[in-house]
């Protein structure tokens, strides 16, 4: 296997730092990228070669081995040249064996470092955002940090618990000209002590004052749309839930469509009755 001078492939000196190596790779990759040279086999091979060079020189351990090979190769060439000038005779067998040994070492090294330099998509970046039920009702947004900088994540009204939002090309960078991975954000929606969510419906419990119940006063219920007054049911049954249409959660991606609100009424008895209250209630009872 022919040894490649990866520094020459990228057009940088052997003293180049990682910043210079990366800059040279980007310029060459942009020039020889197959997307800019469709159907050009030469460009494709050139792109693979510079990708291979960058993969090795950007790794300090691999780069050190390349440097060692280059130094050994230069030393062998100088020695061979000196012997040819002095004696004008073929290279000694020892040198030929040294060259074969060098090639064998390079083959072993290359087996460990060579890859298939086709375009590799970057890994997906995963994250989690926790929001309250009120935010899920109204819609919300969050700013998160990614390898590409800060990014605002928009959360639409009605988002379901554990739904994963996919933002294309905002994951980890690809390799050898491949596309970036995707950003996958899981949305966790927490229930509140006041409301419980089941699908697009909301469930709540409302304490009903004894006197309001006796007087059949309107019932004021708090909802995400604001306070709602409903007429006291003539056939009130505490074992059944009141159903209020379109006061549940927004249906995701269907603007203007809502689930329902189910209300469990719980009669709240006073801790004690005054003598006047007892007398009044006894009077009412007697009339019945």
Cα 133 to Cα 160: distance, rounded to the nearest angstrom: 10
Q: Which residues pair with 145 in a beta bridge?
A: 150
d(CA 140, CA 132): 10
Q: Do domains 1-74 and 125-190 have the same CATH topology?
A: no
Query: 130: which residues sit within 8 A by CB, 6+ positions away?
Result: 188, 190
- The CATH number, out of the four listed (3.30.450.20, 2.60.260.20, 3.40.50.720, 3.30.479.30), of the domain defined by the range 195-268: 2.60.260.20
Cα–Cα nearest to 265, from 213, 201, 227? 213
Percent residues over pLDDT 70 in the chain: 82
pLDDT at 108: 56
pLDDT of 36? 84
Q: CB under 8 Å, gap of 24 or more: what pairs does 207-214 form? A: 207/266, 207/267, 207/268, 208/265, 208/266, 208/267, 208/268, 209/268, 210/267, 210/268, 210/269, 210/270, 213/267
pLDDT of residue 33: 85
Provide the pLDDT for residue 102: 47
pLDDT in tens, 275-288: 887 887 788 777 65
Specify the pLDDT at position 142.
Answer: 95
Q: Which residues of the chain have pLDDT under 70?
A: 1-3, 77-119, 176-177, 287-288
Q: Domain 125-190's class?
A: mainly beta
Domain residue ranges in the chain: 1-74, 125-190, 195-268
pLDDT tens digits, residue range 227-251?
A: 999 888 777 777 788 999 999 999 9
Which pLDDT score, from 0 to 100, does residue 161 have? 96
pTM: 0.57
CATH fold, domain 1-74, is Helix Hairpins (1.10.287)
Spatial distance between the Cα atoms of 171 and 184, rounded to a whole number of angstroms: 8
pLDDT (0 to 100) of residue 3: 62
């Amino acid at each position: 296997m022919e040894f490649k001078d990866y520094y020459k492939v990228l057009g940088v000196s052997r003293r180049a730092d990682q910043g210079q190596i990366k800059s040279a790779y980007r310029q060459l990759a942009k020039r020889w990228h197959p997307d800019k040279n469709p159907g050009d086999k030469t460009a494709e091979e050139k792109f693979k070669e510079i990708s291979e060079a960058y993969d090795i020189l950007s790794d300090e351990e691999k780069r050190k081995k390349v440097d060692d090979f280059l130094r050994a190769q230069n030393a062998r060439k100088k020695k061979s040249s000196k012997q040819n000038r002095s004696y004008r005779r073929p290279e000694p067998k020892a040198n030929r064996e040294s060259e074969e040994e060098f090639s064998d070492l390079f083959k072993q090294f290359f087996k460990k470092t060579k890859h298939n330099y086709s375009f590799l998509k970057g890994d997906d970046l995963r994250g989690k955002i926790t929001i309250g039920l009120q935010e899920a009702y109204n819609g919300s947004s969050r700013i998160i940090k990614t390898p590409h900088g800060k990014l605002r994540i928009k959360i639409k009204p009605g988002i379901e618990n554990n739904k994963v939002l996919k933002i294309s090309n905002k994951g980890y960078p690809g390799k050898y000209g491949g596309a970036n991975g995707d950003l996958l954000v899981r949305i966790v929606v927490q229930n509140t002590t006041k409301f419980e969510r089941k699908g697009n419906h909301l469930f709540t419990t409302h304490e009903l004052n004894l006197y309001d119940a006796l007087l059949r006063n309107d019932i004021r219920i708090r909802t995400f749309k604001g306070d709602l007054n409903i007429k006291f049911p003539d056939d009130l049954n505490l074992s059944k839930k009141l159903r209020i249409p379109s006061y549940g959660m927004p249906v995701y991606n269907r603007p203007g469509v809502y689930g329902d609100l189910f209300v469990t009424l719980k009669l709240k008895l006073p801790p004690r009755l005054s003598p006047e209250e007892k007398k009044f209630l006894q009077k009412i009872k007697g009339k019945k």
